[in-house]
Structure 1
Amino acid sequence: MSGHFTMEERAWHAWIEAAAPETASERQREAYETSVWPNSPYFRLLAWHPASLAARTRLDRAIFLTRGGLPRGDRELAATVASRVNGCELCASVHARFTATFSKDEATVLRLLQQGPEADFADRAGAIVSAVAALTRSPSAFGAHHVRALRDVGLDDADISDVIQATAFFAWANRLMLSLGSPAAPGAADEDALGDQRANDAIAAER
């Protein structure tokens, strides 16, 4: 598990060869080109099984880009907490930036990254952080008291379902990423992948 968490850009390097324009089939190229980050070695690695990547992309967008329901900032907070608990540097950095953008609360994000989910947070953020951390560590640790705490800060059942879905998605996605490669400080070879991050950051900032 990593101990380096930051809102700054992070790179990720695959341990095995990822699909590339010269090695991928047409279906594999389509899968990574329509993914969240077409130039990411992670998504290009997943493209070796294009049906799985396509399903992942649809699920990601359905959970995080849907309109209505839990505010986007809270969904991104859930993703950040799960990534922080699992030790996934890249996902933590990406979703920390999204959380700060959508919630306008960079101080809470920095406290989470630096001190972990055990830190003190305001009521709404604290209830979400506590629930997500428990669910990420072990589903059986998530209990009725977490649901009550979420309701007490204004979340209804549909909102709580959104918290659970965002958490479950990243509890799985982090572990997959951590088993296929490792985070790294960005270098010249990572510019295309970083370009995907910057493009998504820019889109978020415009909303």
Structure 2
Amino acid sequence: MTDTVIHPRIENRPNTFTQAEMGWTPWLEPLSEGELTERHWAGLVDASRSKSPYFMLLARDPGILEARTKTDKDIFYNTEAGLPRAERELSATAASRSNGCIFCASVHSRFASHHSKRTEEVQRLLDEGTGADLASRRWKAVVAASVALTATPPAFGAEQVDQLHKEGLDDLEIADVIHGAAFFNWANRLMLSLGEPTPAK
């Protein structure tokens, strides 16, 4: 990997949690499209991701990027069984809000709002934090479980699983809560260590 470090001057850098779209800029030099080999394109999985500086930075290790992207897609898009898409996105939003990742929280809160049609409740989570008094007990349980796992894996256990069961989630749905939170617990830390959000273009 190149050792070039970018120190961008960002005007109006986003500093609040929002469902609005925003950009992201890396602190290290991403690949350019002209540098991509067949292996890089395979690692991107979707050719459209070549427009993203985040994925073009991760493409420096195409094998890991490919595994990461396929895992991401399976967690959030394979909804034939298990948790509804809105609550998978809620889990990712809660993890991102807990970790302080403004960019990831904006993306997944938009998806949570889109799929649930509960925009105000999603915004309350962003505005007030993961302790927000959400109207739905089921959503409170999903958020609480996601936050416990995000803080440190041993903090998640029987208490959270029992509460999710009480709110009607079966074992497969609980696995989806865990997958969404665990994936973004990792993804937030990666994104926060490689760059920062920017205003939408």
TM tier relative to shorter chain? 0.7 to 0.9
Moved over 3 A (4+): 35-38
The residue identity in structure 2 corresponding to 1:112 is L
Question: 1:153 is matched with which residue?
Answer: 167
Please report the TM-score for the alignment, with normalisation by the length of structure 1: 0.85
The residue identity in structure 2 corresponding to 1:37 is R
Shift of 1:29: 3.2
Shift of 1:36: 7.3
Matches within 5 A, 1:3-152: 4-32=16-44, 34=46, 37-66=49-78, 67-121=80-134, 122-152=136-166
The residue identity in structure 2 corresponding to 1:101 is H
Please report the TM-score for the alignment, with normalisation by the length of structure 2: 0.88
Does residue 185 (structure 1) correspond to residue 187 (structure 2)? The answer is no
Alignment gaps of 5+ in structure 1? 188-207
Question: 1:162 is matched with which residue?
Answer: 176
Tell me the number of residue pairs that the alignment of Structure 1 and Structure 2 aligns.
186
Deviates more, 1:2-11 or 1:127-136: 2-11
Shift of 1:185: 1.2
SS of residue paired to 2:104: helix
Q: 1:15 to 1:131 in 2, by over 3 A?
A: same
SS of residue paired to 1:184: strand
The residue identity in structure 2 corresponding to 1:98 is F
Q: Residues 35 and 54 of structure 1 are in contact (CA less than 8 Å); yes or no, is this contact kept in structure 2?
A: no
Alignment gaps of 5+ in structure 2? 1-13
Q: Residues 86 and 115 of structure 2 are in contact (CA less than 8 Å); yes or no, is this contact kept in structure 1?
A: yes
Shift of 1:35: 6.3
CA distance in 1, matches of 2:184, 2:112: 14
**For residues 160-204 of structure 1, what are the alpha-carbon distances to aligned partners after superposition, in whole Å with 9 as ceiling and x for unaligned?**
0110011110000110011111111123xxxxxxxxxxxxxxxxx
CA distance in 1, matches of 2:66, 2:48: 10
CA distance in 1, matches of 2:84, 2:190: 26
CA distance in 1, matches of 2:60, 2:184: 21
The residue identity in structure 1 corresponding to 2:107 is V
Deviates more, 1:18-27 or 1:48-57: 18-27
